[in-house]
Structure 1
Amino acid sequence: MVIYIAILIIFLILTVLNLAFLPRLKAAPPSNSFVSLLIPMRNEERNVESLIRNLKCLTHRSLEVIILDDGSTDQTSELLRKSIGDDPFFKVIAGKPLPEGWIGKVHACHQLSVEAKGEYLFFLDADVRIAPDTIEKVLAEMDRRRSGLITGFPRFPVKPLLGKLLVPFQHFLVFFHLPLVMANYTTFPAFTAAHGAFMFFKRDAYESIGGHQAVRSSLLEDVHITRLVKKKGWKATLINNTEDAVCHMYDTNREVWEGFLKNIYIGLGQNPFMVGVSSLFYFAFYFLPLPLFGYGIISLQEIYCLPLILVWAQTFIIDRTSNQSPHHFWLMPLASLALIAIMWASMLKRIRKQSYKWKGRSY
């Protein structure tokens, strides 16, 4: 038990040290750099009006906003016309049919990049809302870090139960497992994390890798394109943008399940061994402390309560850093079980050669 507790203490210390290398966006002066803000949309009627209101508040004025309607079958197109009106900063284009071998979102982003005229390309998802001065902040950070790409995991307000368990886990997985000093201060592709909802490229870096066309068949295009940026010698900086960007990812448990199902096994390299090791790791260190805590309470042996307290402390620190709900850390043992379940479900789906489904398309 002493060794077990010592390992959890080490995890806690390493997490605190790791977070020291996660930069936050800072206030920045106005910039004249021309930015193309690029947004793919497919059946996003629930997001259109609030998104356009949000973007009209941006303070960076050397800007074009290009939105691609990717074959929406709901009221996305109508709501876009109504919300944009005659605002000259906005342009809406219709997406072309999806070619064989392409992933839907990747193809949409590629089409957007062809239309863009900016020195910088800012790919933003339709469910993200950003602070008015976000673009100025990112431009300054990019210059400060001499980066070809800035990316970050936004704050995630979540509604469904499965979302409360799994969505904040994105921050935990990255901030705990990724050595941020290597990710942000070197160009080694192995040390990479990215979030496709918030990708801000220097155009030269984007074009040097062939843009989204280089990852046309990837369901994990954000990570794969970031690795290519690093392979070309550009720095890619992972920032803490949770004070400047909010992402309302999923509204239902089904959306949470399908969203994680299509990505997580690919994120593990489609490696069954990694699924097994990761499952054992999270069961042993992040679920097992819960029954140990119960045993400690019943037997009046405080030492058995300490592992769960350490797990809660580590999770609480990450939640505070990422502006997550202050109550989420209590759920960590159950969240670990949910993570294990989705890893195995995703792997088995791939092994059985079944397709993943997302927004009406199968992959």
Structure 2
Amino acid sequence: MSTLYIYIGIHACLLIWVFINQHYMPGLQSFNTIKQKDLVSVLIPLRNEERNVSGLIQSLKALSYSNLEFIFLDDQSTDHTKALLEQEIKQLPHAKILDGSALPPSWVGKNFACHQLSQHAKGTYLLFLDADVRLASTAIDVSLHTLQHRTAGLLSGFPKFPVKGLLAMLAVPMQHVFIYLHLPLMLANNSKLPQASAAHGSFMFFNSAIYHAIGGHQAVKSSLVEDVHLARLVKQKGFSTCLANVTNYVSCNMYQSNKDVWAGFSKNAFPGIGKSWLLAAFVIFFYSFIFVLPVGLLWFAFSSHWLYSIPFALSVITKGAIDYLAAQKAWIAILMPLSALVIIAILLRSMSLTVLKSGYSWKGRTYS
């Protein structure tokens, strides 16, 4: 029983850690001291995003911030993205479409698209969005106020994920788990330690001067996890970053199919931890030990003693607390053991792509 008590204690500590850690992630809010209405450039790369064009434009059309320019880049789409954009942007003031150039060697597609967008932006602030992001009407107002209030060079946050499909339901909300469970948010938001950095590429709000000072997307041109590397660069250059809870203002329909979930996460999982075999082994052990093992202990809860059910209950409560903070459906927490298994499987797949040197594929492009 002493081993069980220790195991229960570990789960209790993790739950307490989440409650402490979340206090260091600010929400987006307005402040009394509001600076002048600086120009914000909203920059959006699109590659084969025809399903998102209409919803994206409607979201942007409803924004309340008054001084905006919208720049879209069609990244050599092979579907109807360009035609739909040309039709829909008539609803937006100060909007234009760029035709993306051919991808140069050593560049990742999204990074090159964002680089091209930044070269045409005139704003004092740059907001990079993915095409599958939808914003609340006041999202730019509160984001800008928060960025200015914290005198940060970059504000980012993990959006709300309206998941569809089993694999998306199991895997996509785990992004919030990684942040609340593994990232010391006090250091992320109150220090310039590059290692304590995170960002989400779907929503990156930069002070333009600082973005260019760090070299912009060109400085991370070959990175598959450019969002994290950009955040680290901001800190390395002596500026601050802010990782905020943006779930009340930003949502992201990240993947549309199980195939996309599998391919997208496989592309990012192993590179996201620096292709560290030691760290990968730790992740596999941690999620197996903390979130999969409690299911096996439920057998002993029924056949031996009810105390064996406590680790499972605490793991579900921990996931439920994070899902609440992430504006996620509460009942998904009960699936945490399956989510852990999916994350382990995706990481193993991502590692195998490195071993086999077959590259990471996304939207018709393959990266080593």
Which range, TM-score by smaller chain?
over 0.9
Aligned with 2:50: secondary structure?
coil
Q: How far has the Cα of 1:27 moved from its partner?
A: 3.5
Show CA shifts across 1:191-243 (max 9, x none).
Answer: 01110000000011101111100000000100001100110011110000000
Aligned with 2:24: secondary structure?
coil
Kept in 1, the 8 Å contact 2:156–2:205? The answer is yes
In 1, Cα distance between equivalents of 2:57 and 2:288: 43
Which residue number corresponds to residue 345 of structure 2? Answer: 341
Kept in 1, the 8 Å contact 2:61–2:91? The answer is no
Alignment of 1:120-139 (within 5 A): 120-139=125-144
1:18 to 1, 21, 29: 21
In 2, Cα distance between equivalents of 1:230 and 1:30: 24
Which residue number corresponds to residue 98 of structure 2? Answer: 93
Q: How far has the Cα of 1:324 moved from its partner?
A: 0.7
Q: Which amino acid aligns with 2:268?
A: N
Aligned with 2:169: secondary structure?
helix
Kept in 2, the 8 Å contact 1:31–1:60? The answer is no
Q: Which amino acid aligns with 1:2?
A: Y
1:287 to 292, 315, 322: 292
Greater CA drift, 248-257 or 81-90: 81-90
Kept in 2, the 8 Å contact 1:30–1:60? The answer is no
Which residue number corresponds to residue 170 of structure 1? Answer: 175
With over 3 angstroms needed to count, the CA separation of the structure-2 counterparts of 1:87 and 1:280, relative to structure 1, is closer
Do structure 1's residue 7 and structure 2's residue 10 form an aligned pair?
A: yes
Show CA shifts across 1:305-345 (max 9, x none).
Answer: 00001101111110000101111101101110111111111
Q: How far has the Cα of 1:86 moved from its partner?
A: 6.2
Which residue number corresponds to residue 257 of structure 2? Answer: 252
- State the identity %: 46
Kept in 2, the 8 Å contact 1:31–1:136? The answer is no
With over 3 angstroms needed to count, the CA separation of the structure-2 counterparts of 1:87 and 1:165, relative to structure 1, is closer
Kept in 1, the 8 Å contact 2:71–2:97? The answer is yes
TM-score by length of 2: 0.97
Aligned with 2:329: secondary structure?
coil
Aligned with 2:82: secondary structure?
helix
Number of aligned residues: 362
1:321 to 318, 325, 330: 325
In 2, Cα distance between equivalents of 1:341 and 1:117: 44
Alignment of 1:95-174 (within 5 A): 95-174=100-179
Q: How far has the Cα of 1:87 moved from its partner?
A: 3.6
Which residue number corresponds to residue 213 of structure 2? Answer: 208
Computed over aligned residues only, the root mean square deviation of the Cα atoms, in angstroms, reads 1.1
Aligned with 2:64: secondary structure?
coil
Q: How far has the Cα of 1:348 moved from its partner?
A: 1.1
Q: How far has the Cα of 1:303 moved from its partner?
A: 0.7
Consecutive unaligned residues in structure 1, runs of 5 or more: none
Kept in 1, the 8 Å contact 2:287–2:340? The answer is yes
Which residue number corresponds to residue 88 of structure 2? Answer: 83
Alignment of 1:291-306 (within 5 A): 291-299=296-304, 301-306=305-310
In 2, Cα distance between equivalents of 1:223 and 1:233: 16
Greater CA drift, 269-278 or 111-120: 269-278
Show CA shifts across 1:99-149 (max 9, x none).
Answer: 011000000000000000000000000000001111110111011111000
Q: Which amino acid aligns with 2:324?
A: R
TM-score by length of 1: 0.98
Kept in 2, the 8 Å contact 1:57–1:132? The answer is yes
Alignment of 1:161-240 (within 5 A): 161-240=166-245
Q: Which amino acid aligns with 2:95?
A: F
With over 3 angstroms needed to count, the CA separation of the structure-2 counterparts of 1:87 and 1:198, relative to structure 1, is closer
With over 3 angstroms needed to count, the CA separation of the structure-2 counterparts of 1:27 and 1:294, relative to structure 1, is farther
Aligned with 1:305: secondary structure?
helix
1:276 to 278, 281, 292: 281
In 2, Cα distance between equivalents of 1:317 and 1:253: 26
Q: Which amino acid aligns with 2:37?
A: N
Q: How far has the Cα of 1:89 moved from its partner?
A: 2.0
Greater CA drift, 159-168 or 107-116: 159-168
In 2, Cα distance between equivalents of 1:179 and 1:274: 17
